[in-house]
Structure 1
Amino acid sequence: MSPGYGVFTVSLDFELYWGVRDKRTINEYGENLRGVRGAIPEMLRVFGDHDIHATWAVVGFLFCNDTAELKASFPAKLPTYERPGLSPYEYIHENASLDGLYHFAPELIKRLAGQSGQEIGTHTFSHFYCLENGQNLDQFEEDISAASRMAAAHGLSMKSLVFPRNQWNEKYLSSLPKFGVQCYRGNQTGRIYEASDAAGQGRVKRAVRLVDAYLNLSGHNTYTFDSCIPRAPFNFPASSFLRPYARKLAILEGLRLRRIKKAMTHAAVNKRLYHLWWHPHNFGKDVARNIEFLEKIAEHYRALNRTYGFRSLNMGELSQLGETHGKQ
């Protein structure tokens, strides 16, 4: 049963260096990571000004104040990835003291949790890769349990999950409710967005996804509410990744904005779900330009809200709506 209006959902994968550690060094990506602490308050300002509700899927490590607290919080079972360098625990053991600027953010999480409409979800405890060879369900459950304990220690309960690298694993879904997780963000439809391990994300796929951000190759990727809630945990799939400003592609910014606005309008008119996502560190460089772009999206949302009753709900609020409709 449809709620009778379209929904604009925003989710952000908040991970700092834990999300890029196996791909980039701090020297290579430090500017983006340092910029997060200035970008998040600006995002919150935009969200507050336009009444946009968002889910912040937080890597559990970020709750810690320092390396000692992090090491004391390790789960009983650690991931045994086959590919070298994937496990963050090896990296932690190799570094006696981790720089908090890149690895921890308890003060930012507290600020996020304190703003109306903002939900703290989980991005797993350790940025756990659910489709990489070597890891298993027991290790995943220990990871989610550790994330749940960490959140509880800060007075939070996490109802929403975003799988790192979008590696959602259907075999793991049935485990989520026992940890209080009610919903997750699935992937966009189509072969270019299929969940896979890193080996399955080749250059051609990435190139086509880049073009799709500017030109409509895959469709609007909006969803009926009923299709998201056939069973728990609910799947609120991604519609679009909000790519950051790119100087080399600056001439195409109008196309990028039009692509997003048209999909939002499609969702509003047809009473469907549109789910936009990105990482805070995507805005860490060229902050002003990225915030300006976000403002335009937010203004379009408010116009659709006035005209069509389009509403902004975070993933947790969508789950509550799903539970209500499931009882009818």
Structure 2
Amino acid sequence: MALKPLLSKINFLLSRSPKVETCPDPSRFIPQGYKTVLLISADFELAWAWQYAKRNPDPLVHAREMAHIERKNIPQIVKFCEDFDIPITWATVGHLFLEKCSRENGSAHPGIPRLRPFENDYWRFEGDDWFEHDPCTDYRQAPEWYCPDLIEQIVSSPVAHEIGCHTFSHIDCRDEICPPALLKAELEECNRLAGRLGLELKSFVHPGHNIGNLDVLAQEGFTSFRTDYRNVLGYPRKHANGLWEFEQTAEFVLRKGWSIGYHIHRYRTIIQRAMESKTVCVLWFHPSFDPVVVEQILPAVFSFIRKNKEQIWVTTHGKYVDWLERNR
């Protein structure tokens, strides 16, 4: 076994990761009758997440491939959510709401300011138009860039999912990269499109976990965001601007060097530790993950959650914030 997967197993066995925090009064964060709160969110992106991925020799081809995997996985994920009554917060790239779009005087979405060239841990953008790859057609011709069909499937599900926000075009939101006016324009467009479906966006996830412009989020009516600074079973923190921060516990992903059985054991154990410690468990995933996660890992973990539903409050980011605000 490679060193990194082995060290991860050792740290997990020793309860070093995720770290378990303590609180003198867990009832401030865990509703009466439950032992843990479980939040599960998905970064719903299609091709937008990968178009400038710097670790791939042909990012655009890779982006389309990942979008096709995501489109195949999501209906199965929605079905398992219905089978096991698991609500998810779908942090959705706003462009996916569109059935179609077009260029105006040669420009896609001219009302949204453009990012300047930048580089971060995951992306390298060297052009002058962030929307240069937008096909400006429709979801039938370019299903990698739009998906009102999948959003409709999620919204119409009998499970009470939440549609959250992941910006309009999957931008880097850090203060030094993204001017406040840019994020404001992106969020306004997301809210406009969601509003056409009768949806109110409250929960936010920064693309690439590039955290920034938190005051803009609060000003635009958002109530929470998720971070990945560490893996923790802990408790949410409220910022001065009113936003609640949810620290991640673990990502659903297929890791090299781990068996399917170990993946299942690990996620079940994390949730069990959350119950034993009376902490909040924050799980998340990219729907473009390896289909093996959908086919073999999620059903086993979801089954464990359902068997322990009397002890686990499985809810969305938005509903949890509502409870937190009522019970402060």
Q: 1:25: which partner in 2?
A: 59
Report how far residue 230 of structure 1 moved: 5.8
Match of 1:49 in 2: 83
SS in structure 2 of the partner of residue 323 of structure 1:
helix
Residue-by-residue CA offset, 1:201-250 (whole Å, 9 max, x unaligned): xxxxxxxxxxxxxxxxx6xx2113xx434652111121111113x6x64x
Deviation at 1:69, TM superposition (A): 8.0
Return the offset for 1:159.
Answer: 0.6
1:311 CA drift (Å): 1.4
Matched, 1:131 2:174: yes
Aligned pairs for 1:21-170 within 5 A: 21-23=51-53, 24-28=58-62, 30-68=64-102, 73-82=109-118, 83-85=125-127, 88-92=130-134, 95=135, 97=137, 99-115=141-157, 116-131=159-174, 133-169=176-212
Q: Does 1:277 align with 2:284?
A: yes
TM-fit CA distance, 1:133 = 4.9
Structure 1: runs of 5 or more not aligned: 190-217
Q: How does 1:256-295 map to 2 (within 5 A)?
A: 256-283=263-290, 287=291, 290-295=294-299
For residues 127 and 74 of structure 1, the distance between their equivalents in structure 2, rounded to whole angstroms, comes to 16
Spell out, residue by residue over 1:56-96, the C-alpha distance to the aligned partner (whole angstroms, 9 max, x if none): 0110111111232896755342322444149532333xx56
Corresponding position: 1:239 with 2:249: yes
Deviates more, 1:290-299 or 1:64-73: 64-73
Seq. identity, %: 23
- The secondary structure found in structure 2 opposite 1:184 is strand
TM-score (norm: length of structure 2):
0.78
- Out of 186, 189, 192, the residue aligned to residue 227 of structure 2 is 186
After superposition, what is the alpha-carbon deviation per residue over 1:168-208, rounded to whole angstroms, capped at 9, x for unaligned?
12xx212223322111112242xxxxxxxxxxxxxxxxxxx
**How far is 1:256 from its partner?**
2.4
Q: Does residue 253 in structure 1 map to residue 287 in structure 2?
A: no
Deviation (angstroms), 1:100 = 2.1
Shift of 1:151: 1.2
The aligned amino acid for 1:305 is: K
For the 8 Å contact 2:73–2:294, the answer to whether it is kept is no
Contact 2:98 2:148 (C-alpha < 8 Å) held by counterparts = yes
Structure 1's 320 and 19: CA in aligned 2 closer, same or farther, altered over 3 A? Answer: same
Query: How many aligned positions are there?
Result: 282
Q: How does 1:221-240 map to 2 (within 5 A)?
A: 221-224=232-235, 227-229=236-238, 231=240, 232-240=242-250
User: Within 2, Cα distance between the matches of 1:186 and 1:259?
Assistant: 21
Of Structure 1 and Structure 2, the greater helix share is in 1
CA distance, structure 1, for counterparts of residue 233 and residue 110 of structure 2: 38
SS in 2 for 1:47: helix
Contact 1:186 1:236 in 2 (8 A): yes
- Write the letter of the residue equivalent to 2:302: A
Distance 1:236 1:294, change over 3 A: same
What corresponds to 1:211 in structure 2? none
What's the C-alpha RMSD, in Å, of the aligned pairs? Answer: 2.5
C-alpha displacement at 1:36, in angstroms? 2.6
3-state SS of the aligned residue for 2:233? Answer: coil
- Shifted more, 156-165 versus 29-38: the winner is 29-38
- The answer to whether the aligner puts 1:13 opposite 2:24 as a matched pair is no
Task: Determine the C-alpha separation between the residues in 2 that align with 1:39 and 1:300.
Answer: 21
- Contact 2:305/2:312, CA 8 A, preserved across alignment: yes
With normalisation by structure 1, the TM-score equals 0.78
In the alignment, residue 267 of structure 2 is paired with which amino acid?
Answer: I
- 8 Å Cα contact 1:222-1:273 kept in structure 2: yes
SS at match of 2:41: strand
Show CA shifts across 1:248-305 (max 9, x none): 64x522222222221111112222111111111114xxx3553221001101112332
